[in-house]
A = this chain, B = another copy of it.
Amino acid sequence: MTNSETIGAPLPHYAVILTVVPGDDLDGYREMCQHLVAKAKTHPGFLGIEMAESDIGIVVSYWESIDAIRIWSADSFHQAAKHEAKQRWYKSFRTRICKVELNY
């Protein structure tokens, strides 16, 4: 994990900030995350991902365009993973779609 995956990516690009309050039982959660990240990396327009977790989890994924985010959101594996996460692992979660205007 680095914090510099989007160095050199043209601006503007887009960030999806997912913040999560995890539940108590995280059995299977990390495996799902690994699969999901591997899948995201194969999607057109994917630029990078950064994750950290302590009291809350924060996942920021970076994309070339809003269209790339829309296509990824509609991916059936991604949708199934989100559904399972909401049911099993997340107490709460919040998503922000952002236009990255500066990156330094």
Contact between chains at B97 and A2 (CB < 8 Å): no
| B96 x A102 contact (CB < 8 A) | yes
Query: Once the chains bind, are A94 and B98 in contact (CB under 8 Å)?
Result: no
- Roughly how many angstroms separate A35 CA and B94 CA in the complex, as a whole number? 26
A interface list, Cβ under 8 A from B: 1-4, 6-7, 15, 17, 19-21, 50-58, 60, 92-104
When all copies of this chain in the complex are counted, the total is: 2
A54 touches B56 (CB 8 A): no
**Does B52 contact A53, Cβ atoms closer than 8 Å?**
yes
Among B51, B56, B92, B95, which residue has its beta carbon within 8 angstroms of that of A102? B95
- Closest Cβ of chain B: how far from A95's Cβ, in Å? 6
Contacts of A4 in B (CB 8 A): 19, 92, 94
B97 and A97 within 8 A (CB): no
The answer to whether B21 touches A3 (Cβ under 8 A) is yes
A99, chain B: closest CB distance, angstroms: 5
* Pairs A–B under 8 Å by Cβ, sample size 25: A2-B56, A3-B19, A3-B20, A3-B92, A4-B19, A15-B17, A17-B17, A17-B60, A50-B56, A52-B55, A52-B56, A52-B57, A52-B58, A54-B54, A94-B103, A94-B104, A95-B102, A96-B102, A96-B103, A97-B100, A97-B101, A97-B103, A98-B98, A98-B100, A99-B101
